Amino acid sequence: MKQVVATMAGNVWKIVVTVGEQVEEGQDVVILESMKMEIPIAAEANGTVQEIHVQEGDFVNEGDVLLTLE
């Protein structure tokens, strides 16, 4: 299993994938909002979204797990 983690603190603005969806390395999976800027978070490997650990509107800290790929 591979984890996608937040690269900085911010609010989860949008989740752009769903559980069961195939993603490719470099594909944006979550968009964070911090200091009025949108920060896309990309998958670091190919895989299938197994679990999403956050919801839109949640606050996350740097290093928090956003989703798990299998």
How far is residue 67's CA from residue 36's CA, in Å, rounded to a whole number?
Answer: 23
Of the pLDDT bands very low, low, confident and very high (cuts 50, 70, 90), residue 1 is: confident
Span 13-50, pLDDT tens digits? 999 999 999 999 999 999 999 999 999 999 999 999 99
What's this model's pTM, rounded to 2 decimal places?
0.91
Fold of domain 2-69 = OB fold (Dihydrolipoamide Acetyltransferase, E2P) (2.40.50)
How far is residue 65's CA from residue 43's CA, in Å, rounded to a whole number?
Answer: 12
Please report the pLDDT score of residue 9 as a whole number.
97
Residue 47 half-sphere exposure toward CB, CA atoms < 13 A: 18
How far is residue 19's CA from residue 54's CA, in Å, rounded to a whole number?
Answer: 12
42, 26 Cβ separation under 8 angstroms:
yes
